[in-house]
């Protein structure tokens, strides 16, 4: 199998070196092209990349020399579209150690319209889950107990088990990736771009397979979230930069899909319908507007309310034009299939829970030409049309 591994990196050179050594050690008889993007690093990453390009004809790299982070949301796509030369590619993090036999498992299961994820073996830095294996083999490359890991590996393998989750590292046909337009720059530099593209793959008919006889040992979160060589204070605490971006990306995910990220216990995406909704907000306050704006396609506020101050504050957090999402009550420049009326003076936490599950509630029990009361929400359904497939291709 010929496969291109896609690895953006920012100030995580020691992980890139660790990952590279494991790939070359355990790639077997597969032809592996390693594609690295240096995202404005200051730790010597680009010097190392140039050294590797001279030594290894299957090592390729590009440099973001702007001095400003682009993020893997952008650089994944540049590597896939501009650098990788093989039909099959794999999103692969710098803090991953490729286990022997992993690429054999991918080759066995990969085909067009199928994405294959390797199972992650991780130290207990995050909560356990049925989609991974917790095993403490060290939390830094210099601590990694490689010999013991390789000794334990056969007892962890189950070649008869294949589940439907999707997460990094995930291998795919580049044509399937390019068919939907790749990652959405709405989430740049990072966070939620993976959940967005997983939704879109699923809606486009792609199937997911997670193999349980192909593994990586994953240090977890060393790209930016907990990279102590960048802006994280330690490997147990999320960096302020990541937390702020995660909040921005979460709000943008809601603006696009109308719900939080959803998946089953094994990480297969759950995609509720995307309805066309308009909020009629009375007794408007900026606090309630801020809480509710992402959840609806359009918001109409009280005449005379200064919504421009909210737009000025929130617009830097999204590439979506917020001025086209807010108007005054009664102007009706944008109609909708479903209208929701909320009195901000009465709005409470129970009402907010209804808002967060509105698409599922309408899917399960809403009928056209009907009006419903959910707490302090009045829901008028003119048309019940699912537009989620319109979100598949960028």
Residue 382: exposure state from Cβ atoms within 10 A (0-12, 13-18, ≥19) = middle
What proportion of the chain, given as a percentage, has pLDDT over 70? 99
Q: What are phi and psi of 166, to 5 degrees?
A: -145, 130
pLDDT digits (tens, 9 = 90+) for 47-98: 999 999 999 999 999 999 998 999 999 999 999 999 999 999 999 999 999 9
Contact 275/385 with Cβ under 8 angstroms? yes
| Per-residue CA distances from 386 to 59, 136, 258, 275 (Å) | 44, 45, 11, 5
* Confidence (pLDDT) at 380: 97
Q: pLDDT grade, residue 226 (50/70/90)? A: confident
* Confidence (pLDDT) at 9: 94
* Confidence (pLDDT) at 115: 98
* Confidence (pLDDT) at 224: 74
What proportion of the chain, given as a percentage, has pLDDT over 90? 91
pLDDT digits (tens, 9 = 90+) for 126-182: 899 999 999 999 999 999 999 999 999 999 999 999 999 999 999 999 999 999 999
Which residue reads 């990306």 in tokens? Answer: 249
- Region 223-241 average pLDDT: 77
* Confidence (pLDDT) at 117: 98
In the predicted model, is pLDDT for residue 32 greater than 80? yes
Report the predicted TM-score, pTM, of the whole model to 2 decimal places: 0.96
What CA–CA distance (Å, rounded) separates 113 from 126?
A: 31
**Distance from the Cα of residue 85 to its chain's centroid:** 24
What CA–CA distance (Å, rounded) separates 353 from 358?
A: 8
| DSSP one-letter code for 183 | S
Q: pLDDT grade, residue 310 (50/70/90)? A: very high
Task: Provide the mean pLDDT of the chain.
Answer: 96
Contact 334/367 with Cβ under 8 angstroms? no
Contact 116/103 with Cβ under 8 angstroms? no
In the predicted model, is pLDDT for residue 293 greater than 90? yes
| Per-residue CA distances from 271 to 196, 199, 243, 355 (Å) | 10, 6, 25, 16
* Confidence (pLDDT) at 235: 74
- Per mean pLDDT, which range of 57-61, 114-118, 264-268, 331-335 is the poorest? 331-335
Q: Which residue in 309, 311, 269, 305 sits closest to 293, CA to CA?
A: 311
In the predicted model, is pLDDT for residue 330 greater than 90? no
In the predicted model, is pLDDT for residue 187 greater than 90? yes
Q: pLDDT grade, residue 220 (50/70/90)? A: confident
In the predicted model, is pLDDT for residue 124 greater than 90? yes
Which residue reads 């086209």 in tokens? Answer: 324
Which domains, from first to last, does the chain contain? Answer: 2-257 (3.90.550.10), 277-391 (no CATH)
Q: Which residue in 195, 296, 203, 177 sits closest to 246, CA to CA?
A: 195
- Per mean pLDDT, which range of 184-198, 269-283, 323-337 is the poorest? 323-337
């Amino acid at each position: 199998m010929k496969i291109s591994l896609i690895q953006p990196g920012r100030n995580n050179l020691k992980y890139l070196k660790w990952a590279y050594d494991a790939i070359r050690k355990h790639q077997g008889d597969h032809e592996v092209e390693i594609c690295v993007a240096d995202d404005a690093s200051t730790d010597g990453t680009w010097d190392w990349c140039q050294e590797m390009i001279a030594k290894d004809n299957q090592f390729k790299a590009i440099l973001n020399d702007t001095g400003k982070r682009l993020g893997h949301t952008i650089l994944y796509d540049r590597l896939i579209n501009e650098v990788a030369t093989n039909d099959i590619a794999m999103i692969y993090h710098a803090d991953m150690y490729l286990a022997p036999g992993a690429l054999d498992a991918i080759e066995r299961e990969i085909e067009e319209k199928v994405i294959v994820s390797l199972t992650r073996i991780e130290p207990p830095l995050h909560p356990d889950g049925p989609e991974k294996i917790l095993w403490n083999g060290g939390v830094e490359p210099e601590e990694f107990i490689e010999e013991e890991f390789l000794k334990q590996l056969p007892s962890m393998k189950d070649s008869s088990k294949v589940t439907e989750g999707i997460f990094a590292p995930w291998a795919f046909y580049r044509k399937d990736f390019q068919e939907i337009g790749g990652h959405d720059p709405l989430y740049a530099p990072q966070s939620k771009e993976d959940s967005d593209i997983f939704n879109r793959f699923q809606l486009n008919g792609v199937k997911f397979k997670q193999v349980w006889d192909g593994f990586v040992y994953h240090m977890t979160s060393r790209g930016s979230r907990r990279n102590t060589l960048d802006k994280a204070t330690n490997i147990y605490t999320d960096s302020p930069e990541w937390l702020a971006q995660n909040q921005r990306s979460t709000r943008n995910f809601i603006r696009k899909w109308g719900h939080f990220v959803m998946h089953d216990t094994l990480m297969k995406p759950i995609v509720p319908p995307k309805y066309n909704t308009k909020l009629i907000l009375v007794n408007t306050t900026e606090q309630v507007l801020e809480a509710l704006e992402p959840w609806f396609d359009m918001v109409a506020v009280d005449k005379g309310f200064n919504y421009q101050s909210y737009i000025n504050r929130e617009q830097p957090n999204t590439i979506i034009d917020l001025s086209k999402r807010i108007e005054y009550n009664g102007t009706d420049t944008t109609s909708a299939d479903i209208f929701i009326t909320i009195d901000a003076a009465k709005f409470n936490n129970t009402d907010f829970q209804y808002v967060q599950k509105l698409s599922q509630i309408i899917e399960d029990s809403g009928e056209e030409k009907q009006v419903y009361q959910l707490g302090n929400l009045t829901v008028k359904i003119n048309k019940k049309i699912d537009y989620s497939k319109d979100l598949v291709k960028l």
